[in-house]
Structure 1
Amino acid sequence: MTIKLFTDSSADLPKELIQRYDIEVVPLLVIDGDQQYEDNVTLDPADLFRGMREGKVYKTSQISYQTLYDRLKPYAEQGQSCLYLAFSSELSGTYQTGVMVKNDILEQYPDFELEVLDTKCASLGEGMVVLKIAELAQQGKSMAELLAAASFFARHMEHIFTVDDLKYLLRGGRVSPIAAFIGGILQIKPILDVEDGKLIPIEKVRGRKKVFQRMIEIIRERGVALDKQTIGISHGDDLEGAEQLAAMIREAFGTPEIVISMIGASVGAHSGPGTMAIYFLNQEWNAVS
């Protein structure tokens, strides 16, 4: 019996891949005034981005303890081993909720094999880790093998992204009001990274074309075996931009497969429309496995 994979909706995985690998996705919550929605269940990301362009301000909340408990309990009753790969603990309380659920459910089902891993990743960066582990799970790898691989992929998954408007990062306290104001006037776009689960600004570039060019340069500087690995791109309701970036990656590196997905509502509420992100490995798994 293969190990059942769980993740949360912040992984921003395309639906066809979720279905292909039979991944259980638990939704984070998105709040619009007095309305509460489940990410990608009762709120479509495209509707969220449309609302943001119209001036709506959304808030988010971690996954519900009860929802996760109820989703895991049937597997505990069946004796089906489960691995939950969680959103970065530096950006959400979702991982901590997972640990609480694990501790409580094991009190009732002490023989249940359940592990919870903090990926320290976000959006499709988390999703790319999940996909790699899903492939290994289908090969019948043990829990110990999956945990070791997940730790490696999470540690070496690069997140390079830019946002179209700094005001969304301003709301989250990621940039200063002065930086957001000047950025808006001068069309300065930040390039950011995720390091140890935290968002880190690394550069500022003027103009979208130059941002894309610099992102390609960063991939070249940091990536390995780019002509062999799968690269991920997630976007804030800008498929045309994502496909343009994918074409640049294929031309530069001969990358065989690129996964493109729209950023989900729980992440998009903080990054905003027009966000563009690239995810790739900076070390080869086979070199250490």
Structure 2
Amino acid sequence: MQNYCITTDSNSDLPSSYTEKFGTTIIPQYYAFGDEVYGDEKNMPPAEFYERMKQGELPSSMANNPAVIREKFEQILEKGMDILHIAFSSALSGSYNNVYVTAQELCEEYPGRKIIVLDSLNVSLAETILVIKANHFLEEGKTLEENAALLEEYKKHLHVQFTVDDLFHLKRGGRISGAAAAVGTALNLKPFLYVGTNGNLVSDGTSRGRKKSIRTLAERMKNTLGDAPDKTVPVGIVHGNCPEDARMAADFVTELTGITDIIINDISPSIGTHAGPGALGILYYGEEKKN
């Protein structure tokens, strides 16, 4: 057995069942309502978080804490183990850089130990898929370096397609203009976005009406699955406190693709700060992304 472990951050939305199965160390991401900060030992149930947003409260998000990263990594290094960390997209947060810098410092302090920080260029359950695959490679006996190299290629095939229910939060985050948000709301338009090859968010058209937008996500998935989808990992569906819509999306995915291995989970508050209540995404392994 190789002497290293896989770690990730809370933006991976890694389900607790996988956290327990793999013994995964999670680096917390933070969010706040006013001066009240959450994200480590203090957390808020997602349903409460999104309900407070619906009531008009505006949360903020912040990157991970280098002191916490150090503490959690040192606990592993002191056991004589190396680390492969799967990080939230560097294009969307400073968290990757915080982990990378801390990892470099620790490698100097623990000669002989190795830490590889993999920029997933992805978000949420796409990170979870990488964690699952990384643990598969670990179980197969791949070395730390071999595992990281395989994941670098694998991540190019991970797709994140999502829509939001309320354009206000995209406007607040600078993704669309105030005028576009006003017009889109009046016309009941639901925008589509995806995570591009550089790990950034890309706007990709609109649909009118909620149900149609959810089915369109499933259709886009079907069209980008490619000839050989990886059946060793699940499809992920994430939502901002809209579980019924998530189940509808799962039904559409199964109807259109035949895939039944599906994880449904909440969008973590630190991501939900920007996506808002009603956000919904489908995350999966498919053909290599083109843009």
**Range class of TM-score, shorter chain:** over 0.9
| Paired residues of 1:236 and 1:268 also in contact (CA < 8 A) | yes
Corresponding residue of 1:198: 200
- Matched residue, 2:150: 149
Matches of 2:91 and 2:103, distance apart in 1:
19
Structure 1 CA distance for aligned equivalents of residues 167 and 225 of structure 2: 27
Which residue identity is paired with 1:248? F
Alignment partner, residue 185 of structure 2: 184
Displaced runs of 4 or more, over 6 A: none
Query: Which residue is equivalent to 1:69?
Result: 70
What does residue range 27-66 of structure 1 map to in structure 2 within 5 Å? Answer: 27-38=28-39, 41-66=42-67
Indicate which of 258, 271, 279 corresponds to 2:262. Answer: 258
Stretch deviating more after TM superposition (255-264 or 149-158): 149-158
Question: Equivalent residue for 2:22?
Answer: 21
* Deviation of the 1:38 alpha carbon: 1.1
The code of the aligned residue for 1:212 comes to I
Which stretch shows the higher mean deviation, 118-127 or 134-143?
134-143
- CA displacement at 1:40 relative to structure 2: 8.0
Aligned with residue 279 of structure 2, among 272, 275, 281 = 275
2: CA distance, partners of 1:215 / 1:240: 16
TM-aligned CA distance change 1:91 to 1:40, over 3 Å:
farther
How much has 1:241 moved relative to structure 2? 0.8
Alignment partner, residue 246 of structure 2:
242
Contact 1:98 1:116 in 2 (8 A): yes
Instruction: State the AA in 2 paired with 1:29.
Output: Y
Report the secondary structure of 2:78's partner residue. helix
Alpha-carbon contact 2:169-2:276 (below 8 Å) kept: yes
8 A Cα contact 1:8 1:28, kept in partner: yes
Q: Residue type matched to 1:142 in 2?
A: T
Structure 2, unpaired ranges of 5+? none
Could you say what secondary structure the match of 2:133 adopts? helix
Cα separation, 2, equivalents of 1:40 and 1:227: 35
**How much has 1:136 moved relative to structure 2?**
2.0
Q: Is the 8 A contact 1:159 1:279 kept in 2?
A: yes
User: Which residue of structure 1 lines up, in the alignment, with residue 215 of structure 2?
Assistant: 213
Q: TM-score, normalised to structure 1's length? A: 0.94
Shift of 1:283: 3.2
Rounded to whole Å, the distance in 2 between the matches of 1:181 and 1:131 is 41
Q: 2:85 corresponds to which residue?
A: 84
CA contact (8 A) 2:215 2:249 kept: no
Question: How many aligned positions are there?
Answer: 284
Are the equivalent residues in 2 in contact too, given 1:99–1:116 (CA < 8 A)?
A: yes
Q: Do the aligned partners of residues 157 and 41 (structure 1) sit closer, same or farther apart at CA in structure 2, a change above 3 Å counting? A: farther
Check whether the contact 1:48–1:269 (CA below 8 A) recurs between aligned residues.
no
